[in-house]
Amino acid sequence: MKILFEIPQAILELFFPNLCLLCYEKRPLRNSLCCLACKLELPYSDQIDVVDNELEYRIFGRFKIQRAAALFRFRKGSKILKLIHQLKYKNRPHIGVELGKEYGRKILSSSNFPIPDLIIPIPLHYKKQYRRGYNQSFEFGKGIAEILDIPIEKNILIKETPSDSQTKMNRLERLENVMNSFKIKNNEKIIGKHVLLVDDIITTGATLEAAAQKLLKTKNLRLSLAIIGMAEL
């Protein structure tokens, strides 16, 4: 069934490359991936402009942040998952870039989100990145970096080993396992800096927490988080 559904979609895109990525019927809005009707159905969170938002509340007590915000807050079956699925598994890195630009514009128009010094994406292990062809979090960060006119650095936080299967571990074991899989290089570039760590989706937050803890070992580093979507708990 899945294949039957996807073939016509691929053909549609071949002949009509400029259609809304959600309905394939209408033209997308300017600076957008989808048409007005579909955009109105996307679960925007408003977190970027709101201090002490739900994501920050979830992180509170786990590690120190300046600001954290997800662009979307979704539940199972939400339309945004269709876009994120295309970004991660259908070779569409530009979806990440466009969502990043949207995020960046929201930071610019907010007086509650300080502009960071640089962006660091959650890395993929190089084998995984090779298979996918790109890192979706880097693409998202690239869009933000372009709008804010700040650098994005992919050679600072490195994923050295693929994470082991984590199903039988408790939260702390999981955190340690993921933390050990990250390495920091060129540490001098981030001393005293305000770093915006970017990721696609946050569910349990284990990966993000491990990366954050690792970065926060750097002297005088301040950390904020930009996430495409957070799952409703």
Is 223 a binding residue for Zn ion by CB under 5 A? The answer is: no
Kind of pairing between the strands at 157-159 and 182-184: antiparallel
CA atoms within 13 A on the CB side of 153: 21
The span of 23-31, 166-174, 184-192, 206-214 binding Zn ion (CB under 5 A) equals 23-31
> In the complex with Zn ion, which residue's Cβ is closer, 36 or 115?
36
Measured distance CA(145)–CA(176) in Å, rounded: 30
Q: Which of 35, 83, 157, 197 binds Zn ion (CB under 5 A)?
A: 35
Q: Which of 33, 38, 87, 152 binds Zn ion (CB under 5 A)?
A: 38
Size of residue set near Zn ion by CB under 5 A? 6
| Phi, psi of 184, rounded to the nearest 5 degrees | -110, 130
Is 212 a binding residue for Zn ion by CB under 5 A? The answer is: no
Tokens of 152: 């994005």
Is 21 a binding residue for Zn ion by CB under 5 A? The answer is: no
Is 42 a binding residue for Zn ion by CB under 5 A? The answer is: no
> In the complex with Zn ion, which residue's Cβ is closer, 22 or 210?
22
Helix axes 171-181, 206-215, angle to 10 degrees: 50
Is 22 a binding residue for Zn ion by CB under 5 A? The answer is: yes
Is 23 a binding residue for Zn ion by CB under 5 A? The answer is: yes
> In the complex with Zn ion, which residue's Cβ is closer, 27 or 128?
27
Is 83 a binding residue for Zn ion by CB under 5 A? The answer is: no
Measured distance CA(45)–CA(74) in Å, rounded: 9
Residue 7 beta carbon to Zn ion: minimum distance, rounded to whole angstroms: 20
Quickly count: other Cβ atoms within 10 Å of residue 85's Cβ.
12
Question: Partners of 70 in the beta sheet?
Answer: 227
> In the complex with Zn ion, which residue's Cβ is closer, 6 or 176?
6
CB 69 within 8 Å of CB 47:
yes
Residue 59 beta carbon to Zn ion: minimum distance, rounded to whole angstroms: 33
Residue 152 beta carbon to Zn ion: minimum distance, rounded to whole angstroms: 30
DSSP class of residue 191?
T
The span of 33-41, 42-50, 100-108, 167-175 binding Zn ion (CB under 5 A) equals 33-41
Tokens of 5: 């559904």
Kind of pairing between the strands at 182-184 and 68-74: unpaired
Residues making contact with Zn ion (CB under 5 A):
20, 22-23, 34-35, 38
